[in-house]
């Protein structure tokens, strides 16, 4: 928390002292999404270091935003939001809507974390829109500077989507050559699959049914339908 208070009589100043430190709102957002364990929170939040996450959780517990629940029988620790944090949901919701309407798409998508993006898509894939058989998808990202440019989805009926960066020699049903910004834009409502294909940032080939139904099985953010959203330009 800030070493010195703002010194303002406005109630907003105290609110900022509690929620303003970097990562605090993002940690609460992931708890809102159902993550309660340290390792899960670290993966979901992104580039936060273990030391900073531990410090923030301790501070947030001290301020009354979260509760630390220890299960000694199982040797587990869970972090859950208190009512104080739950009461922040309308404000966090308003901030997300504000960002969709006011932050340019290029700026909002510039720092897309590919690992987090693929994990999100794999978790929220609309499997009911997929054929009831094994489906394998290959994604290759031309704008990923890291070592893992190629990712795979392995979906078996009745099982969670397996997201991986390597796969045994197995038939691929759908090939996608694209940019991570393009995929993020399509999921976040900053663009659509047809617009990205037309702009040349996304190329899809393979199983005709999977291609045709992509707009149905590809998950979209809760905020993808915000009125007045700032869209990614349709062409480079």
Q: How far is CA 51 from CA 17, 42, 47, 70, 76, in A?
A: 20, 10, 12, 20, 19
pLDDT at 147 (0 to 100):
87
Per-residue DSSP letters for 21-39? STTHHHHHHHHHTT--SHH
- Res 1: pLDDT: 44
For residue 15, what pLDDT is reported?
Answer: 82
- pLDDT at res. 35: 93
CATH number of 11-87: 1.10.10.10
DSSP E strands: which ranges in 12-95? Answer: 66-71, 76-81
Distance CA 81, CA 68 (A): 9
Structure pTM?
Answer: 0.86
d(CA 20, CA 123): 29
Instruction: Please check whether residue 36 is in contact with residue 74, taking contact to mean a CB–CB distance below 8 angstroms.
Output: no
Tokens of 187: 């999921």
The CATH superfamily of 106-217 is SCP2 sterol-binding domain (3.30.1050.10)
- The whole-number pLDDT of residue 138 equals 97
Hey, where are the domains in the chain? 11-87, 106-217
Q: What is the mean pLDDT of each run of 10 residues along the chain (236 residues)?
A: 58 79 91 93 90 95 96 95 95 94 94 92 94 96 91 94 92 97 96 95 97 97 94 78
Please tell me the predicted confidence (pLDDT) of residue 219. 97
- Rounded to a whole number, what is the distance in angstroms from the first to the last CA of the chain? 42
CA-angle at 126, arms to 124 and 131, nearest 5°:
140
Nearest to 61 by CA among 39, 32, 81, 37: 81
Quote the Cα angle for 100-104-106, to 5°.
Answer: 115
């Amino acid at each position: 928390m800030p070493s010195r208070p703002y010194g303002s009589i406005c109630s907003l100043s105290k609110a900022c002292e509690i929620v303003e430190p970097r990562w605090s709102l993002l940690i609460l957002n992931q708890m809102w999404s159902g993550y309660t364990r340290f390792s899960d929170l670290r993966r979901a939040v992104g580039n936060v270091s273990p030391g900073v996450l531990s410090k923030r959780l301790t501070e947030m517990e001290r301020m009354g935003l979260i509760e630390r629940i220890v299960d000694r029988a199982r040797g587990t620790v869970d972090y859950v939001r208190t009512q104080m944090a739950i009461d922040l949901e309308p404000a966090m919701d308003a901030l997300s809507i504000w960002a969709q309407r006011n932050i340019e798409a290029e700026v909002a998508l510039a720092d897309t974390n590919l690992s987090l993006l693929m994990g999100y898509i794999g978790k929220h894939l609309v499997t009911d829109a997929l054929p009831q058989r094994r489906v394998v998808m290959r994604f290759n990202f031309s704008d990923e500077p890291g070592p893992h440019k190629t990712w795979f989805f392995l979906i078996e009926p009745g099982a969670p989507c397996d997201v991986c960066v390597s796969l045994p020699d197995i038939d691929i049903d759908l090939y996608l050559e694209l940019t991570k910004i393009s995929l993020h834009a399509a999921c976040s409502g900053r663009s659509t699959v047809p617009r990205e294909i037309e702009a040349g940032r996304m190329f899809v080939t393979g199983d005709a049914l999977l291609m045709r139904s992509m707009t149905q099985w590809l998950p979209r953010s809760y905020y993808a339908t915000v009125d007045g959203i700032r869209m990614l330009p349709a062409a480079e």
